[in-house]
Chains A and B, each alone.
Chain A
Amino acid sequence: MLPALILMLMFGQKFYSDDPIVRDRDNQVDVTEIKKYKLNDQYDFFKLSFSSPGDRSMGPAANANTLGEVPASSWFQNRHGMSAMSLSELTKGPNTSNGPSNEAPWVIISAKTEGVTPGFRILDARGDIYFVKFDPIENPEMSTAAEVISTKFFYAVGYNVPENYITFFKRDQLQIDDKAKISEEELDNLLKRVYRRRDGVYRAMASKLLDGSPVGPFQYFGTRPDDPNDIFPHENRRELRALRVFAAWLNHDDSRAINTLDMLVKEDGKRHVKHYLMDFGSTLGSGSTNPQKPRAGWEYLWDPKPAFLRMATLGLWDRSWVHVKYPKHPSIGNFEATYFDPEEWKPEYPNPAFLNMTNQDAYWPRRSS
């Protein structure tokens, strides 16, 4: 209690009779007019690399309670930090089953055959829908393992994440729905681009479709103007600011808006938006489609100071990351701890919530655990 009072003295937060609140009831106003928002990732990159949207006053977190804790909400549930989860709970994470059912063939209902990350959506015997992703041919187990492991970490911390499973199947497990825009030949070509074991078994990561209706990603600044429950600027939410600590720890350099998702869900007759972190393929030593780039975590894609210094010095000057020696483990990727410096860590491009992280925000996870 005493530290909380000191914090109150520091921030001058007004005290109410129900403080400190442990739950922020941000599901009480029925969401009726929300529209699906499509974020353009290139636009997001340029906007955040070359401008500073949101509140950058670096004030105290807006949604922390009078103890400095983060109340449970549609964004965050206190889990391991509140009371230690058991080993089985930690390894189970958000999962509610063992993944896609193998009792009947999986029916492919849509596919992504182009681009660098092939995959498809399946309908299993239980009627559940999963998005199936693969490892790069030269890095078996790397990105699927990284995604599932990181999912469990982020879940244990308290974030909303999808159910992600490691799954195995053979080609004859797959059937194509008439409406899926993929032919048998295209499917074969897709599977040629992914890792397959010698016994013909494919290892994949199956991400279960989230409950509710997707309404687009959330951004790391501002509030969603069509969500009445979203009143705290995202860059000032403590759990999003402090996400930087966990993102650094797990090298989640892809922690940007495009890898989040807002779902419109209905509970007790009311609709509200639930906010998810998604897509952890670029964590730990994995860069999703290749081992993590040595630059990742050290420097933004566009980072003017080091860029100009390199130009001006003919490349003689550089950051320490260029000297890091990574062990050669194809299934792990580029992962090391000797050079890792959490305070220096950066995602792929500026994240307003991370930039707003104060010492109190950074300390909050440590205090909770």
Chain B
Amino acid sequence: MSGLTLSLFLLMGFQEVPDEPTRTEVLGAARQEKASDLKPPSRSPLERALNEFKEKRVLERFQAGYKGLHPLLGGLRTGAGFGAGTSVEKDGFRVSAQVSMRGYQKYEVGYKLPIDSDLFFADLRATYRNFTQERYFGTGQDSREQNQTSYRMEDINYVGRFGITPAKHLKAGILSGWLGTSVGSGTSRFVPSIETVFSSRNTPALANQPDYAEVGLFFEADYRDHPGNPRAGGRYTASWTSFRDRNLGQYDFGRYDIEGQHYFPFFHQRRVIAVRAKTTMTQTATGQEVPFFMQPTVGGSEDLRGFDEFRFRDRNMVVLNAEYRWEAFSGLDLAAFVDAGQVAPRVSDFHLGNFEKSYGVGFRFNTEKSVFLRVDLGFSREGQRLLIKFGHVF
């Protein structure tokens, strides 16, 4: 120890006392003392439960299903109430069954043909649907909210598709199938059934429902980064389907669906301006009608969020949406949105001044690749709607 150091020690009152233990001995004594009172690490009940959940792979096993049966939660149909079901996949087949609190049912068998090429795809599908309380307010944009009714829609559809994927993001193909339709009284306890308010005179195909042969073309370009929670890119689709009435001869029509979504990110995708335009147009020969239950609709959680589900319907519809989305923190995006939509009997009847408008704010609980819970509050001239959905709007 240097003289300076020693002097400072003396100034500070330190003295090396021979009888005192060393630091090593002090630390050793502390360790011996702890050794006499060891306890296992404690875990709170919550941590134990979370560990059990993780170790028993509850989520993975739930998703993996039981003996090949996978659970399906929600996603049956907008307005169907909480739905659940199961699906099984094997050797290219996929079979699913879903029911909901409001009595909706959907059963489907699909088969993906084994084609040894990434360029082509082909699949077959048979779907039975029984939707017990679909909403109907009348046809046209001047339909009244007070006229809400419900109807049961039952259909069975057999369809085959063949297509080509010339590039990773592109898909195009043809389809052909058969569609049998049926309509009955709605089962809602809160609104009257359709036949008590509307007649077959102003509601096409209310009395009799056609069976269709259908053929169509479709095209899709999907450049979204994450389809479940897109922040960049876009998706553009177009399809044409011809429905030929095979039993009544009154309801032939062609339908064109065109949709474009695009996402403009900035600030490292922590901000996104998302826009969408979509239209469905139908075309009939003279004397032919489009059944009311196959007319395009506007309104509800997927497009015009300040209005009820399927609030407006007619032969043609157009919807415009714009959202500004911003990240509050990892796991939650907020959104401010405006929607505009209209329906019209003829395309020439679309008019800028006729758009129904809604606006609102939304909360999107998400992961990087998907939105698992969406809470939107939409406002319109018909009031406000709180929408809670398991999935993104677009």
Contact = CB atoms under 8 A, between A and B. Distances in A.
A340 to B, nearest CB: 16
B60 interface: yes
A2 B270 contact: no
B334 A311 contact: yes
A9 B331 CA distance: 48
Given A1-B2, A231-B31, A322-B268, A37 B327 contact: no
B23 A301 contact: no
Contacts, number: 129
Interface in A26-70: 26, 28-29, 33, 35, 37-38, 40, 42-43, 65
Interface string A199-239: 00000000000000000100000001111111100000000
Nearest to A224: B41
Interface residues on B, range: 35 or more
Contact of B329 (A5, A9, A302): A302
A172 interface: no
B50 interface: yes
A231 B41 contact: no
Nearest to A18: B22
B50 A231 contact: no
The secondary-structure label for the interface of chain A is: loop
Interface in A301-334: 301-303, 306-308, 310-311, 314-315, 318, 321-324
Interface string A1-32: 11001001100000111110100111011000
Given A225-B40, A301-B331, A25 B24 contact: yes
A8 B23 CA distance: 15
A310 B331 CA distance: 14
B109 to A, nearest CB: 26
Contacts of B41: 35, 37, 216, 224-226
Contacts of B44: 43
Interface string B21-33: 1111011101110
B12 interface: yes
A40 B54 contact: yes
Given A43-B50, A114-B60, A314-B336, A226 B39 contact: yes
Interface string B293-329: 0000000000000000000000000000000101111
A295 interface: yes
Nearest to A114: B60
B163 to A, nearest CB: 23
Contact of A5 (B5, B22, B38, B267): B5
A16 B22 contact: yes
Nearest to B41: A37
Nearest to B329: A307
Contacts of A228: 31-32, 34-35, 38
18 contacts: A15-B9, A16-B20, A16-B21, A16-B22, A16-B23, A17-B18, A25-B27, A28-B28, A40-B50, A40-B51, A40-B54, A43-B47, A114-B60, A224-B41, A310-B328, A315-B270, A321-B268, A322-B267
Interface of A: 1-2, 5, 8-9, 15-19, 21, 24-26, 28-29, 33, 35, 37-38, 40, 42-43, 65, 114, 216, 224-231, 294-295, 299, 301-303, 306-308, 310-311, 314-315, 318, 321-324
Given A225-B38, A315-B326, 8 more contacts: A1-B5, A26-B27, A37-B41, A43-B46, A226-B40, A301-B331, A302-B331, A323-B267
Interface of B: 1-2, 4-5, 8-9, 12, 14, 16, 18, 20-24, 26-28, 30-32, 34-35, 38-42, 44, 46-47, 50-51, 54-55, 60, 267-268, 270-271, 324, 326-332, 334, 336
